[in-house]
Amino acid sequence: MASPAARMDLGDIQGDILRAYGNDYDCTTYAFVTIECPPEQARAWFSGLLDHVTTAAPWSAGEKPLTTLNVSVTAAGLRALGVSDKVVDSFSREFREGMSSRAALLGDVGPSDPRSWDPGLGTGDAHVLLTINAQQTPDHQRALGKMRDAMDEAGGIRIVFQEDTELLPGSREHFGYADGFAQPAIEGSSDDKARGGGVPLKDGGWRPLAPGEFILGYPDEDTRVDPKRRLPNAPAAPLARSGTYMVWRKLYQDVALWRRVIRDAAKVYEGGDEHALSAKVVGRWANGAPLVKHPDEAPADFDPRTPGGNDFRYDKDIDGMRCPLGSHIRRSNPRDALGFEGHLSFRHRMIRRGMPYGTELPEGATADDGTDRGLVFVSFQGSISRQFEGVQVQWLNAGNIFGLGHDKDFLLGDPHGTGKMTIQGRPPFFLAPQEVFVRTRGGEYLFVPGMTALAALADGTAG
Amino acid sequence: MASSNVSGQAYAFMAMTPVMPGNEQPLAEYLRGLRGRGPSPLAKLPRTHLARFVIVPDFHHDPTWKQPKEDHLDLNYLIFTSNFDGGLDSYLDELCEQLAPEAKEIWGRCVGCPESARGAALKAYLKHNQIDTGMFFAAYGHATVGMVKKALREREQTIAFAIRAQGMDPETLQQAFLAEFGGAK
């Protein structure tokens, strides 16, 4: 049987999904656009974008574009482009309802309540998201300028929300942690990352995940075991093939609060210090070294991108003495920790492509400076409810499956102020819940069409 | 009464009643409206561990399941389930008394419900429409609501103390422990 790689049509899938564009792109702008003109006019503007959309087809040496463009749409956006109700109804329920309608489920309450979100997000006004990556600022400004000119020319199309982001030194996020390197290994695309990124097998090996877990129109993990080889649920043709669902969330990070809480708690953390304590909360040292392999100190030369850097499992740390049971990475990707040969965790993986935003809080500062800074979280998955929401609701905002009662992920905070974090040890150490370190400032559920689907949307033949 | 309704000292009750045609929307709106109006009326029944109202408008038909034929319900159905402490009869007596105002708006919209929607008549109606539980998993089959709530309070108190006590020297710790828990039985 031909491998999925031979069959995956990379030219039809948008870029930055299967393989990251890479750290050469320092700047990313996310521009949410609203359509205030008739669908035919909107589609004319939309058609103009298509020639500039970057695909998953590999670049030859020297061909790396200065800027890239990718396009995704909300349910409201599909309607604004003239897609019929019948076709929109074929998309998943959570996509159609939108992220802000599902705030209670996601734990976006209190300071993360949609009523406090940045203007333009979660209101139904966001129709199309243009994601522009650029290697350097002048190219970035040129690309943004062209984008705005095209909208002005079309008329009735304007930006309702824009976030400009930039990589931080060392590919860190604002709490100081190396981020983004642990990604799922996908059969036919990133098989080389299977060790640590795939499904842990009983014999100690790993295997990559089926592509349909992330790209619609391809076999997923269910297809593997289905005698009829049915493909996963997907929207009506021609929109599904080569597409994926996207989650976009702007997460404010209260860096000053995080530093103060860790500093104060570390004073009574026996035998430990601030770095060790914060590593216990996250599950990794700041340079990305996993606690389960390096429980006592971070290896100075650890590079998470080297092959095998992400190769670890929890079978030798069942009681959490090395990596706490409730630590962030153990919650967000339990690997083999839930037993049953990884079967309770392998259907909940996400491709993550987020970017930090806002300037850094100077090192050592523990007073807030009023700057809006944090992480734009972006994930791609075949099912928003099974993959993104499953992790958010069952693993981050609850502790039951880990035997932790109602303790929630300490890093993401707990607006209800209940529960705690236990750092397993002799003796155990406890962290009291705080005001939230991370607040949702806005978000949307989107669909990233394949190239053929984009063309169908543009010429009004999507149904 | 089937013994499958019982687990330890807890009982699992379910009644399914058809909704009178024309009452589907008012019933749904009434039940939804209960959310925003303060504590649930079910809180008036302190023996209740977990209870809920569910409206079943129709069977779900999903085109991807490739079912040989579609089945449809003639009427909407209201399902009431409750897991509670102790026996069914005394619980229903409490329910039919305490929830009389709400019962008129809820079961009063169902086929066959007695005009008064309260007391012995309502109790008989609910028992008539009872569906026995097939399998009852009770997480704390021997713990009453009171025992569970007390345990939760003690857990929170212990957590708060454990966090506060970190870093205390032994003598201070002992004094603090006795001050916090010394009176506990």
Residue of B nearest to A430 (CA): B163
- For residue B159, which residues of chain A lie inside 8 Å, CB to CB? 420, 430
Contact A420 B163 (CB under 8 A): yes
| A424-433 contacts at long range (C-beta below 8 A, 24 or more positions apart) | A424/A319, A424/A320, A424/A321, A424/A324, A424/A325, A425/A321, A426/A321, A427/A270, A429/A269, A429/A270, A429/A272, A429/A280, A429/B166, A430/B159, A430/B162, A430/B163, A430/B166, A431/A261, A431/A265, A431/A281, A431/B163, A432/B160, A432/B163, A433/A408
Residues of A with CB under 8 A from a CB of B: 233, 267-269, 418, 420, 429-432
Contact A268 B166 (CB under 8 A): yes
Residue of B nearest to A420 (CA): B159
- For residue A432, which residues of chain B lie inside 8 Å, CB to CB? 160, 163
**Any idea of the CA torsion for A188, A191, A197, A198, to the nearest 10 degrees?**
70
Residue of B nearest to A234 (CA): B64
Contact A233 B64 (CB under 8 A): yes
- Tens-digit pLDDT profile for residues B142-180: 999 999 999 999 988 998 999 999 989 999 999 999 999
Q: Which of B64, B156, B162 sits opposite A430 (nearest CB)?
A: B162
Residue positions counted in chain B? 185
Nearest to B43 by CA among B34, B33, B54: B34
Domain limits, chain A: 4-168+444-458, 245-441
- For residue B156, which residues of chain A lie inside 8 Å, CB to CB? 418
- For residue A89, which residues of chain B lie inside 8 Å, CB to CB? none
Q: Which of B156, B159, B167 sits opposite A268 (nearest CB)?
A: B167
Reply yes or no on domain B3-128 having CATH 1.10.150.120: no
Q: pTM here? A: 0.89
The pLDDT mean for chain B works out to 92
Contact B163 A431 (CB under 8 A): yes
A371 forms beta bridges with none
**Which two tokens mark A358?**
């806002």
Query: How far away is chain B from the Cα of A17, in angstroms, using its nearest Cα?
Result: 27
The values of phi and psi at residue A452, to 5°, are: -65, -40
- Tens-digit pLDDT profile for residues B48-85: 999 999 999 999 887 767 788 888 999 999 999 999 99
Query: How far away is chain A from the Cα of B98, in angstroms, using its nearest Cα?
Result: 30
How many CA atoms lie less than 13 Å away from A328 in the CB half-sphere? 19
Domain limits, chain B: 3-128, 145-181
Contact B159 A430 (CB under 8 A): yes
Is the distance from CB of B108 to CB of B96 less than 8 angstroms?
Answer: no
Instruction: Give Cβ neighbours of residue B18 (< 8 Å, ≥ 6 apart).
Output: B75, B76, B77, B78, B110, B111, B112
The beta-strand segments (E) located in A215-291 are 244-253
A356 cis-preceded (ω within 30 degrees of 0)? no
The values of phi and psi at residue A87, to 5°, are: -75, -40
CA distances from A64 to A19, A57, A133 (A): 14, 11, 12
- pLDDT of chain A along its 463 residues, tens only? 444 444 789 999 999 999 888 777 889 999 999 999 999 999 999 999 999 999 999 888 778 899 999 999 999 999 999 999 999 999 999 999 999 999 999 999 999 999 999 999 999 999 999 999 998 788 888 999 999 999 999 999 999 999 999 999 888 999 999 988 889 999 999 998 999 999 999 898 999 999 999 999 999 999 999 999 999 999 999 999 999 999 999 999 999 999 999 999 999 997 779 999 999 999 999 999 999 999 999 999 998 888 788 999 999 999 999 999 999 999 999 999 998 878 899 999 999 999 999 999 999 999 999 999 999 999 999 999 999 999 999 999 999 999 998 899 999 877 666 668 999 999 899 998 777 899 999 999 999 999 999 999 999 999 8
- How far apart, in whole angstroms, are the C-alpha atoms of residue A257 and residue A252? 12
Q: Give this complex's ipTM.
A: 0.76
Contact A432 B64 (CB under 8 A): no
The values of phi and psi at residue A47, to 5°, are: -60, -35
- How far apart, in whole angstroms, are the C-alpha atoms of residue A218 and residue A212? 4
Nearest to B149 by CA among B85, B97, B80: B85
Query: How far away is chain B from the Cα of A377, in angstroms, using its nearest Cα?
Result: 32
Query: How far away is chain B from the Cα of A431, in angstroms, using its nearest Cα?
Result: 7
* Gyration radius (Cα) of chain B, Å: 23
Contact A430 B166 (CB under 8 A): yes
- How far apart, in whole angstroms, are the C-alpha atoms of residue A10 and residue A14? 8
Element (H, E) at A94: helix A93-97
DSSP state for residue B118 in the 8-state scheme? S
Residue of A nearest to B160 (CA): A432
